[in-house]
Structure 1
Amino acid sequence: MIREDRFVMSHKQYAVDLSTLSGDRRTGYQGREYYSGVIRAVWFRRRRRSSNGPMLTVACIGTLWDSQDTIPADGHAFLLAHDDGRYGGDCLGRWDGSGYWGSENPDVMAEHLELLRPMLASYEQDPKAPVLPDGFDGWWRF
């Protein structure tokens, strides 16, 4: 992944919490060992509420995952080695300004909305420089 200093919606960037990297060594096909890692991320995307409705911006929370040959030293090293963005982020929660999609667990939903509401409000106030949630580093893209 490549780290950029400014936000550009068309780059499909992610902000990540570098301290949340977790993973383990695994054995795959023909005994090949690899590191399977996951890191927490937030991002913005444009989508339609209905098939013919207007485009709207949503704030998402989820994870980025990757399988790598070596164990990374930290979250930063993990992202620098992450070079396959075809699957994007695994979205666990999404806020569009009026509705939430994601976990039905009230505690998880509250945690997601605590991050996503101000994130989307910040984007709506200044789409070129949205404020990142505390503890998140951005902007990263493939």
Structure 2
Amino acid sequence: MIRETKFLISRKQFAIDLSTVTGEQHKRGDRYAFSGTANAVWYRRQNGVTRACLGSLMLFSHYLPEPLDVDDPRAILSANLDGRYGGDCHARWDGENYWGSQKPFEMDLHLMLLEPMLADYPVIPDGYDGWWTYQAQR
């Protein structure tokens, strides 16, 4: 992934909770494979409506030339990771409609993060590091 300082919704960027970056790696011939996850938040736009999203990212690569420092979240995120699946959205808020858990406690927790996030667009919420993208640098 690449860490960018400027937010552009077209770059499909994520703000990541670095304390949740986890994973395992193993040797694969003369290369290394890594598989992990991280919690993240992001913005997406559909039909002109901006949405604040929260969920998880799959972090993986099957062919890394060198092992990763699995104790350093930024080293993991900076690796050449495969981002074909993007984020797995668990909750979304567009200012009017909520999509996600129907458990009242979980819904409240989600909206406590998503409502101010959308209101302060495109601010990165406290506790998250961003903006990270799988897209190649321009």
Q: TM-score normalised to the size of structure 2? A: 0.81
Identity %: 53
Q: Does 1:64 align with 2:63?
A: no
Q: Which residue of 2 aligns with 1:102?
A: 100
The alignment partner of 1:45 has SS state of strand
Q: Which residue of 2 aligns with 1:85?
A: 83
CA contact (8 A) 1:66 1:82 kept: no
Structure 2: unaligned runs, 5 residues or longer: none
Q: TM-score normalised to the size of structure 1? A: 0.78
Question: Deviation per CA, 1:7-58, whole angstroms, max 9, x where unpaired?
Answer: 11111111001011233468x9xxxx8442110100000113xxxxxx2000
Give 1:1-142 correspondences, 5 Å limit. 1-24=1-24, 34-48=33-47, 55-68=48-61, 70=67, 72-123=70-121, 130-142=122-134
Question: Deviation per CA, 1:52-76, whole angstroms, max 9, x where unpaired?
Answer: xxx2000000011123464522221
Instruction: Give distance in 2, aligned partners of 1:112 and 1:82.
Output: 30
State the Cα distance separating 1:104 from its structure 2 match.
1.6
Alignment coverage as a number of residue pairs? 127
CA contact (8 A) 2:59 2:83 kept: no
Farther off after superposition, 105-114 or 66-75? 66-75
Instruction: Give distance in 2, aligned partners of 1:24 and 1:104.
Output: 32
Compared with structure 1, are the counterparts of its residues 34 and 83 closer, same or farther at alpha carbon in structure 2 (3 Å cutoff)? closer
Higher helix share: 1
The alignment partner of 1:81 has SS state of coil
